[in-house]
Structure 1
Amino acid sequence: MPIRRSYLQWPGGKSHIVSALRAFLPPGRRLIEPFVGASSVFLNTDYPEYLLGDANPDLILVHRTLQAYGEAFIGACRELFVPENNAPERYYALRQEFNATQNLWRRAILFVYLNRHGIHGLMRYNRRGAFNTPFGYRRKIYFPEAEMRLFAEHAKRASFVHADFRDLMSQARPGDVVYCDPPYVPLSDTANFTEYAPGGFSWHDHMALAGYARELARRGVTVEISNHRTPATESLYRGAQLVSVRAPRNIGVQHRQAARTAEEILAIFWPP
């Protein structure tokens, strides 16, 4: 089937490799994603049920709001996608409002605006938990109305939770399938994209995730994990089936964008 795009821009989004991912996701009663992100895998699979979580509370808020309010939420978001708001002074004013507001409806609307107007959809927070992605300087801004409507329809079968991956994986039972897209192991000392949620994601977390995957496989649950292919991740996922895929990577600076591809690994932990 044609690839369905998310309504959110997302660094490391899976739309480019979702066909490869699907090839190793067996049928099941429920797909569990502890790192749902922009939801590309969710949108491009067809399970009876979904349990979708993430450590970023703003992300889960916006997914839940779109799920619950559909057209009303789409219309409210559309009001911010006007030419006068595609300017740095407006962006930074709305970013400041996002960081200050306690109104969850308004915060979800602003999240969609910031995601599309900031640099390449980067979700970055400072140590105080304030969103601090810079303005993206795009000539035209696309409003993802069709993508939002598609998400709202598909989300009728989904539950979204703000949770640590350990909490979600502990709920997996035989008949479930688990796909994990954790913050990737950096390819260099300066490449770190774990700041999309306070606290980051450590090597200890990667080791814990691999341990959960092995335990679930022993209990009859298939687990698939994606990451950069490095000697460290090959060792981390020992015992799993390892599949290489090439995926595009964008390296953004304020006024330009360079593209490259990176080798990724799919680690599939099959039940015995």
Structure 2
Amino acid sequence: MKYDKLVEPVVKWAGGKRQLLPELKKYIPKNISTYYEPFLGGAAVLFDIQPKKAVVSDINEELINLYMAIRDNVDELIEDLKKHKNTPDYFYKIRGLDRETSIYSKLTKVERASRIHYLNKTCYNGLFRVNMAGQFNSPFGNYKNPNITNEITIRAVSKYLNEANIKLKYCDYEETLKSIRKGAFVYFDPPYDPVSNSSNFTGYAKGGFNRDEQWRLRNVCDKLNSKGIKFLLSNSSTDFILDLYKDYNTKIIQAKRFINSNGNKRGEIDEVLVRNYG
């Protein structure tokens, strides 16, 4: 399987890792039996390193359904994407489908995937956000010519997902790691600990990710460490996170944030990389 530079994220994602890849790749081990990524999101790391064997997951059902449609029904998906219109009325009609249970339940998996990809490409700032009921609630972006079909990238990603041994799962991250064995490597990119009360964005899936969840994740990291399984974790460099992982190797890095409802708050912020190896 040859490396394909056309394989790249198909969705814009809050906290996406594309601009951090040069730094992240310094710490990804060379010899990995199986790559695990249990907070898949936009999949920037997966698509950049393109492992031959991986187990990846997310708790966002619509996102995993999109990746499955790209893998299993790429031609149907591309044809369906061509029908969408870049207008406010059409956008809000499509966005509102998940409020209409009787209509939404009749959508095929491909139609659901097409809907979520369309909304991501045309919503404001590419912000994938849902409310507490799990309904997509980002407003219309008013872009002149968004690449809704995105055919070249989608076909490249489909080819990779079919040629490599990639397991896609819709589940909690602990479930993803149940059968992990020594020799595997885990990259964690969870919802970040908020740096301020106003920056508490956890809306990529209903339910959020509070500090109790951050503690649960640290406990999972401890279990991996006790088994001799290497992990790398990204998070915001808050005092809470730095204290939580004080027993591990940490490195503060600078990251640019391009997704924020307040344009003045986009820019460089400190993040931390945590790992249990040298």
- Which of 5, 11, 22 is matched with 2:8 structurally? 5
| Counterpart contact for 2:76–2:110, Cα < 8 Å | no
Query: Structure 1 or 2: larger strand share?
Result: 1
Aligned position for 2:94:
94
Written as runs of structure 1 = structure 2, the 5 A alignment for 1:136-215 is 136-143=141-148, 144-156=150-162, 157-215=165-223
| Counterpart contact for 2:7–2:160, Cα < 8 Å | no
Written as runs of structure 1 = structure 2, the 5 A alignment for 1:5-154 is 5-26=8-29, 27-80=31-84, 85-100=85-100, 101-102=104-105, 103=107, 104-143=109-148, 144-154=150-160
Distance in 2 (CA, whole Å) between partners of 1:5 and 1:257 is 28
Cα-Cα RMSD: 2.0
User: 1:95-135 CA deviation, whole Å, 9 max, x = no partner?
Assistant: 11254312222111100000011122212222222211111
Alpha-carbon spacing, 1:163–1:46, altered in 2? closer, same or farther (3 Å): same
- Which of 240, 243, 246 is matched with 2:254 structurally? 246
- Which of 236, 242, 266 is matched with 1:259 structurally? 266
Distance in 2 (CA, whole Å) between partners of 1:166 and 1:130 is 24
1:231 aligns with 2:235: no
**How does the TM-score come out when normalised to structure 2?**
0.89
In the TM superposition, what is the alpha-carbon distance from 1:187 to its structure 2 partner?
Answer: 1.1
Distance in 2 (CA, whole Å) between partners of 1:196 and 1:224 is 21
Distance in 2 (CA, whole Å) between partners of 1:74 and 1:247 is 33
- What percentage of aligned pairs have identical amino acids? 26
Query: 1:117 is aligned with what amino acid?
Result: T
| Counterpart contact for 2:230–2:276, Cα < 8 Å | yes
Of 178-187 and 18-27, more deviation after overlay is shown by: 18-27
| Counterpart contact for 1:29–1:49, Cα < 8 Å | yes
Name the SS of the counterpart of 1:190 in structure 2. Answer: helix
Name the SS of the counterpart of 1:18 in structure 2. Answer: helix
**How does the TM-score come out when normalised to structure 1?**
0.91
Any gaps of 5 or more consecutive residues in structure 1? Answer: none
In the TM superposition, what is the alpha-carbon distance from 1:47 to its structure 2 partner?
Answer: 2.1
In the TM superposition, what is the alpha-carbon distance from 1:159 to its structure 2 partner?
Answer: 1.0
| Counterpart contact for 2:8–2:157, Cα < 8 Å | no
Alpha-carbon spacing, 1:195–1:170, altered in 2? closer, same or farther (3 Å): same
Alpha-carbon spacing, 1:264–1:92, altered in 2? closer, same or farther (3 Å): same
In the TM superposition, what is the alpha-carbon distance from 1:188 to its structure 2 partner?
Answer: 0.8
| Counterpart contact for 2:41–2:58, Cα < 8 Å | yes
Query: 1:48 is aligned with what amino acid?
Result: K
Residue correspondences, number: 266
In the TM superposition, what is the alpha-carbon distance from 1:140 to its structure 2 partner?
Answer: 2.0
Distance in 2 (CA, whole Å) between partners of 1:124 and 1:68 is 25
